[in-house]
Structure 1
Amino acid sequence: MTSEFLLPLVTVGATLMLVLTGLLNFSVFLRQLRSSRELLETAKWQLENARQQPEIQLFQRAMSETSEHLAVLLQRPYLRPYFYENKSWREGDQATADEVKIMAELLLDNLASAIIHSAAFPQYPIRSVEQTIRFQLRNSPALREFLMEAFDRFQMAGLALLRLKNDTKEQTEADLRLLIDACGTDAAERARRERLLRHLQSATNDEPVELARYSLERKRKLSLSEATSTR
C-alpha cells in the first residue's frame, strides 16, 4: 500500500519539477530574447548613425563654407553693406579697397567650394547653398567684380557661379562673351571660356549644380587620362 501510495506522489513531484524547470528555462529564454532585441536595436541605431554621419558632415561643411566669412564681418561690421546691401566701394569709405577685395576673395572661394561639393556629393544641401550663393552674388558688386576679374581661378565652379549671378541663361552667355574678349593673349584660357560658352548654349539643363558637375567630370576625365598616359 505504501509503495502504491508513494509512486503517484513521486510521479506528480517529478512532473512538477519538470514544469518548474521548463518555466525557469522559459524565463531565461525570455530574458535572453529581450537582451538580444536590445542589442539588435542598439546595432541598428549604430548602423543608422554611421550611415548618416557622412551626410551630417556634409551639412556641417555646407554651413561652414557659406558662413565662415561672418567672423570677419563681426570684427569689421563696416564691410557688411558691400556684401549684403549691394553697396559699391567708393573713395573715402571707411573700408579700404583692399579690405573689400580680400573679403570678396575669401567669400567667393568658400562659395566656389560649396558649389563644387554640391556637384560631387548628392547628399549636399544644394538648394540652400544655391540660395545663399545667389543672394550673395546679386547683392554684392565686389563679388561680381572679383568673379569676372579672377574667372580663371574658378576652373570648376566658375560657370555655375556665373549662372547663379544672373537671372537668365542669355545673361550668362553675355558674361562669357565679355570674359572671352578680356582674355587678351592667353590662348588656353580663351579656349576654355569658348568651350564653356558652347557647353552652356547646348546644355538642355542649365541648373548651376549641373554646370558645376560638367566641369568637375571633365576635370576628372582629364586627370585620369593624364595618369594613364604617364604609366
Structure 2
Amino acid sequence: MLNRKSIIGSLMVLAMAGTATARAEEVLRFATWDTDESLAIQQEIAKKFEEKHPGVKVQVEPYADGYDQKLIAAFGAGNPPDVMYMWNFPQYYTSLKPLDDLIAKDAAEIKPDDFPQGLMNTVRVEGKTYGMPSGFTTQVVFYNKDMFAKAGVEEPKDGWTWDDLRAKAAKFRDEPNKVYGFAVDAKPDPYDFEQFLWSNGTKYISDDGKKIDGYMNSDAAAQVLDMFADMAKTQEAITLNLGDDTSGS
C-alpha cells in the first residue's frame, strides 16, 4: 500500500509490546489513516487473515482525520491498537515490541532482499527493528520536451545542479517564449519538501527527534528557502497548486 506522503520514503506498520502474536479468540486491533478504496482493501485483507487464522478477529479502526492526535490519545489512555500505521514511531518506540525475533522466525517468508536496506534503516532505533515499511514515495521532475525544443534549451541530464537548473529555467523567460522554466508547489507538503534540505546537507530535526536548533534554523536550510524565493522573484520559477501545467520543467 502506498501512503499519502512519506518523510523518508517509508511507512511503518508497528506491533505493540506483547500483542504481536494472535491467540485463539483474540481480537487484533489495526489502526489506519486510510479511507474509501484503500480502507476497503485493508478490510478485505483483514477478512482473508481471519479465514487463515480461525478464532482470530481483526478489528480495523479507521481513525481518518486527526489520526496522529487520536493515536496519541490512545497511547495516553493506555489503550493503543495492536498494529498501526505510524509516522513518528521514534517517539513511541519504548512502548513498541521489537520485531527482530519475529522477522527471524519468518525468515522463509521475509527475506533480506524483500525490502531495500535504506528503508529498513529508517525503522530501526538503537539497532532494533520497530516497524516494517509498507510503501515509499519516489520524487521525480517532469519536463516538457516540446517546450525545451521550442525554446532552444538543453534538456535536463544526469549531474545537473540547482545552479544548472536555474540557468536553464531563466532562458524560458527570453523572447519570444515568455513562459516559466520551473514550477514550485505553492503549498509543499513538509514531508516532500525535506528532500530539498537533504540535498543541501541538512534536515528538519535531529535523528533522535529532539533538536531543531542547528537543523531547521541552520544556514543550509535558509539557503534552500532563499533559493526558491529568489527563483520566484527573478521569474525563473512560478508557484503553482498541484495540477497546473504551464512550466517547462
TM-score (norm 1): 0.25
Tell me which of the two structures has the higher relative contact order, counting C-alpha pairs closer than 8 angstroms and 6 or more residues apart. 2
TM-score (norm 2): 0.24
Higher strand share: 2
